[in-house]
Amino acid sequence: MSHVLLKPVIAVSMLTALTGCWFSERVEEFSGPTMGSTYTIKYVRGESSPGLDLVKRETETILAEVDLQLSTYRADSVIEKFNHAPAGSCQVMPAGLLELVDAGYALHEESDGLLDLTLEPVLNLWGFGPQARAGKVPTPEALAAAISRVGMQYLRRQGEQLCKDVDLQVDFNSIAAGYAVDKIVQRLSELGVSRYMIEVTGELKAAGLKPDGQPWRIGLEAPQDGQRVAQRVLAVDGYGISTSGDYRNYFEEDGQRYSHTLDPSTGKPINHQLAAVTVVDKSTLRADGLSTVLMVMGTERGLAFAERKGIAAFFVTREGDGFVTQATQAFEQLFPAGDEQ
């Protein structure tokens, strides 16, 4: 009789264990300040996943290291010490910083010079850099002087050293946040986390499914029909996303609007109707850099470049009082219109 009674008890115990295992999965979330903005981490935690305290500690260690190496807003950063060194000098650099320089060179070549890590003197002159004063249109003489200190050809890597041939300044803002996201993804993967949504200063990457079996959904600003804000929602799995726009950081002078996005070929703010562009790529660093490149190019040139390179990109362009949106074939293959819900 006792054996008969034990069977349902064991069955119930097993069911409880299975149910407990299923419901133990939950989304952990934390956020904080970084790089003059914020970051947010969400990850699915199961029984074998690392705890929130460990993931937060590892994340903040990476962000602190990135800030110490790459920030142009703190005088003690590695890159600022290099920026203040005289022309003709070389400096031993950490591996991560050299990795970013290599990525910058690759994007510079791919974009025919439209991504340039040495643009800081001109950014400062226009009022958009770390040493900037209030935004104003510079004189032709001042612009020419600043441009003479800009150019990737003056920045050289020699083994573990970075050298500069002129008094240039390096600014990684076009790729640093994407790089930070990828570094956090790599560390979380090492810790056994494979389902996450990681966002640093607006650049993000998401992978895997949430405990309810749904993908991470990311909303894009896509103004249409004269409305300032509408949403296109993307179900993201294994991709980084970066958006660049000219509608948040600009100044006006004599009725003319001057964007914080500069064209390295002229040293002047872009002057076209592209309001924002989003790039999706397996590498968040690459998405970050390419969104800047396409923003500089403008809609027509950017669309042609992105189609030719197979880049997944989504363009928001001003038209009259409203906006129109266009996407590359690679973007529509990843996120077919109408499948976002």
For 19-29, write each residue's pLDDT tens digit: 444 447 999 99
Based on the structure, what is the number of domains in the chain? Answer: 3
Residues 96 and 114 in one domain: yes
For 227-248, write each residue's pLDDT tens digit: 545 458 899 999 999 999 876 6
For 194-223, write each residue's pLDDT tens digit: 999 999 999 999 999 999 999 999 988 654
For 307-322, write each residue's pLDDT tens digit: 999 999 999 998 888 8
The position carrying tokens 């509608």 is: 247
Residue 301 lies in a domain: yes
Among 102, 137, 164, identify where a domain stops.
164
Residues 189 and 249 in one domain: no
pLDDT of res. 6: 35
Residues 271 and 231 in one domain: yes
> Helix 95-110 crosses helix 176-190 at what angle (to 10 degrees)?
130
Residues 117 and 194 in one domain: no
Alpha carbon of 233 to those of 60, 80, 177, 217, 223: distances in Å? 29, 39, 22, 6, 13
Residue 77 lies in a domain: no
Residue 2 lies in a domain: no
Length in residues, the chain: 341
Is residue 9 exposed (0-12), middle (13-18) or buried (19+ Cβ within 10 Å)?
Answer: exposed
Query: Given a cut of 90, is residue 31 above it in pLDDT?
Result: yes
pLDDT of res. 20: 42
Residues 60 and 189 in one domain: yes
Residue 15 lies in a domain: no
pLDDT bin (cut points 50, 70, 90) of residue 225 is very low
The secondary structure of 98-151 as a DSSP string is: HHHHHHHHHHHHHTTT-S-TT-HHHHHHHT-STT--S--PPPHHHHHHHHTT--
Residue 141 lies in a domain: yes
Residues 176 and 155 in one domain: no
Domain that holds residue 107: 83-164
Q: Report residue 281: phi and psi, to 5°.
A: -155, 155
pLDDT of res. 340: 52
Residues 62 and 204 in one domain: yes
CATH (domain of 64): 3.10.520.10
For 298-308, write each residue's pLDDT tens digit: 999 999 999 99
Instruction: Provide mean pLDDT across the span 64-74.
Output: 94
Tell me how far apart the alpha carbons of residues 57 and 53 are, in angstroms, rounded to a whole number.
6
Of residues 337 and 317, which shows the higher confidence score?
317
pLDDT of res. 172: 95
The number of CA neighbours under 13 Å toward the Cβ of 167 is 7
Q: Which residues 6+ apart lie within 8 Å of 185 measured at CB?
A: 196, 198, 205, 207, 284
Tell me how far apart the alpha carbons of residues 279 and 241 are, in angstroms, rounded to a whole number.
6
Residue 10 lies in a domain: no
| Contact indicator for 235, 84 with CB cutoff of 8 Å | no
| Contact indicator for 326, 301 with CB cutoff of 8 Å | no
The token pair at 241 is: 């996303």
